[in-house]
Structure 1
Amino acid sequence: MIRISTDSTSDLDYLYKEKNIAIMPICVVLDGNMYSDGVDIFPQDIYAHVEKTGHLPKTAARNTFDYKEFFTELTKDGDTIIHLAFSSGLSTCCNCAIEAAKEVGNVYVVDTKSLSSGCGLLVMKACDLLEQGKTAEEIVAELNECVDKVQASFIVATMEYLYKGGRCSKLSSIFATALRIMPSLYLKDGKIAVGKKYMGNILKNADKYVLDTLKKHNKYDKRRVFITYTEGTDERIVQKVEDVLKANSNFDEVLRTHAGATVTCHCGKGTIGILYIDEELPSSEE
């Protein structure tokens, strides 16, 4: 039997259980203690820590030994594993998983070059292909062809977490806050880059972000789109994104999921994105 697994950064919420997807929790370091994303630490814990201390917790990759234990357990009954890994451009998770797979055997590792439900899109595609009766080799080949077609972007309500995480300067943060500038972030070559900037509050700009994204990435695979957002995001914003998305596209499925520890640590409360597979991604968001 073929089994699909992924890192907890895929942000698939209820779909993990529904699709029988095995999860490797990413580590979050808080006050010197190590926690497992989605097991014993959640976004609200991160918000509470930042509010109390003014400092962001750190995310930490699983090591080769952790992945070896994980894969050994999954393959003990003879199953073949296809593991969709968190971007190698953002973490050592993928490389550690590859090394562990070599030792365990019967494990394929795909570098998604993405995070959050950008990874999740490839996980769901793997599940689709599995249901179609594809072999492990066929599934992996199709996934690798799709990796660079994933459109993964978010709009960020505040620069606070980006500044605290070292992704922008204090001056940039102050300047952006004073002028009420909100950046969009996107994945390029497996790394986070800054895209178009919007002025005003996120409720005002949610529709612009959706329309800009659909215009730029308009050759989409209509199978599904994710609306992924951090805990605490105003429901009016989420609903507006969904309404504009449905009115201006024809996706078969529009799926909402909450962002886990990784996106929360980097972007903070009020972050929301739309993510889907596009056939022709441009080389730049600018």
Structure 2
Amino acid sequence: MRIAVVTDSTAYLPQQLIKENNITVVPIPVILDGKTYDEGTQISTSEFYTWLRQSETLPSTTQPSIGEMVKLYRKLGDQGYDTVISIHLSSTISGFLSNLRNVDDLVPNTHVIPYDSQITVILMGEMVLTAAKMAKSGKTVDEILARLDALRETTDEYFIVNDLQNLVKGGRLSNASAFLGGMLRIKPILTFDDEHKIVAFEKIRSLKKAYSRVEELFDQAVKTTDYPIHAFIIHANDEAAAITWRDELQAKYPKIKFDISYFGPVIGTHLGEKAIAIGWIKDEQV
């Protein structure tokens, strides 16, 4: 059995890991001033945030076409893969995965399994990487899916954002009404709820207090977790802030592995520039 692993560009995995583990990445389109660009191939993260600062219009995103996905899956089938595990951003963020539910009927030469990561960014990327390594080592589909299910249960993330307007406009903030009043004067903390929807968790009056509160929440999680975690500081074009926060947290938690990742154009479209987050997942390397 040969298993291919497919994901979308919001996994934000380093190119070297993508290549080494034979991962196929489907770019998600982002729309800027009426023009469509494929994330990661037609527009870079730095180009996107430069545009975002200069433009008076809000960006938006769309989905890869089903036709493109069917073509990709058939190509993988022609290459000898009898199964494709296609891991994508949470179905509560995008309808992309839902549109793949019946694609297997259109691909006669391989079996396509769409998989909901229930999250996005590098936390999804870590799930993708685990699946790809398992496929490479000869694990079965059932073994890979079971590991993904277990790993998915260990993900968590808290975001600090400067502006809720695009999340609200795009309908991706499920409890927006409670946070609209005076939102320009607060630094809201967002997270994924039990239904895997992005929700505004708390209103915080300053950036310093927002950082402090997120650190409290992270500390609570660390104290109640009985497995090693891999933590990430994820930033929207603010690497200096991410490095500073990473270094501070690493000093407080020397046994935890911290790395830095980023919000690319598609997720940055909804969170805005200077958003920052801490996310974590079970450390599969320990």
- State the TM-score, normalized to the length of structure 2: 0.82
Residue in structure 2 matched with residue 110 of structure 1 by the alignment: 115
Tell me how far apart the structure 2 counterparts of residues 135 and 164 of structure 1 sit (CA, whole Å): 42
Greater mean deviation of Cα atoms: 214-223 or 80-89: 214-223
Q: Per-residue deviation at 1:171?
A: 11
Deviations 1:179-203 (A, max 9, x none): xx2112112223211113333225x
CA contact (8 A) 2:233 2:242 kept: no
Superposed displacement of residue 258, structure 1: 1.8
Contact 1:5 1:22 in 2 (8 A): yes
1:226 aligns with 2:227: no
Q: Which amino acid aligns with 1:55?
A: T
Match of 1:263? 267
Question: Is the 2:158–2:214 Cα contact (8 Å) retained in structure 1?
Answer: no
Matched with 1:193 is: 199
Does residue 212 (structure 1) correspond to residue 217 (structure 2)? The answer is yes
Task: Please report how far the alpha carbon of residue 227 of structure 1 lies from its aligned counterpart in structure 2 after TM superposition.
Answer: 2.2
- Give 1:284's aligned residue: none
Deviation (angstroms), 1:81: 2.1
Deviations 1:243-278 (A, max 9, x none): 314522633x43322211222001111112222236
Give the aligned partner of residue 282 of structure 1.
Answer: none
Identity value in percent: 24
Deviations, residues 217-244 of structure 1 (Å, cap 9, x unaligned): 631642522222112x151443223431
Conserved 8 A contact 1:49-1:56: no
Deviation at 1:117, TM superposition (A): 1.9
Deviations 1:31-60 (A, max 9, x none): 222211111123344434444442211111
Residue correspondence of structure 1 range 1-286 to structure 2 within 5 A: 1-14=2-15, 15-79=17-81, 80-104=83-107, 105-130=110-135, 133-159=138-164, 161-162=166-167, 165=170, 167=173, 175-178=182-185, 181-188=186-193, 189-201=195-207, 205-216=210-221, 218-219=224-225, 221-222=227-228, 224-231=230-237, 233-245=238-250, 247-248=252-253, 250-251=255-256, 253-277=257-281
For 2:215 and 2:235, the matched residues in 1 are separated by 14
TM-superposed CA distance for 1:101, in Å, is 3.1
Rounded Cα–Cα distance in structure 1 between residues aligned with 2:279 and 2:105: 31
SS of the aligned residue for 1:198 comes to: coil
Query: 1-side partners of 2:105 and 2:259: how far apart?
Result: 35
Please report the RMSD computed on the Cα atoms of aligned residues, expressed in angstroms.
Answer: 2.9
- Point out the more displaced range, 90-99 or 23-32: 90-99
How many residues are aligned here? Answer: 274
Change (3 A) 1:24 1:234: closer
Tell me: CA distance 1:215–1:18, structure 2 relative to 1, closer, same or farther (3 Å).
farther
SS of structure 2 residue aligned to 1:67? helix
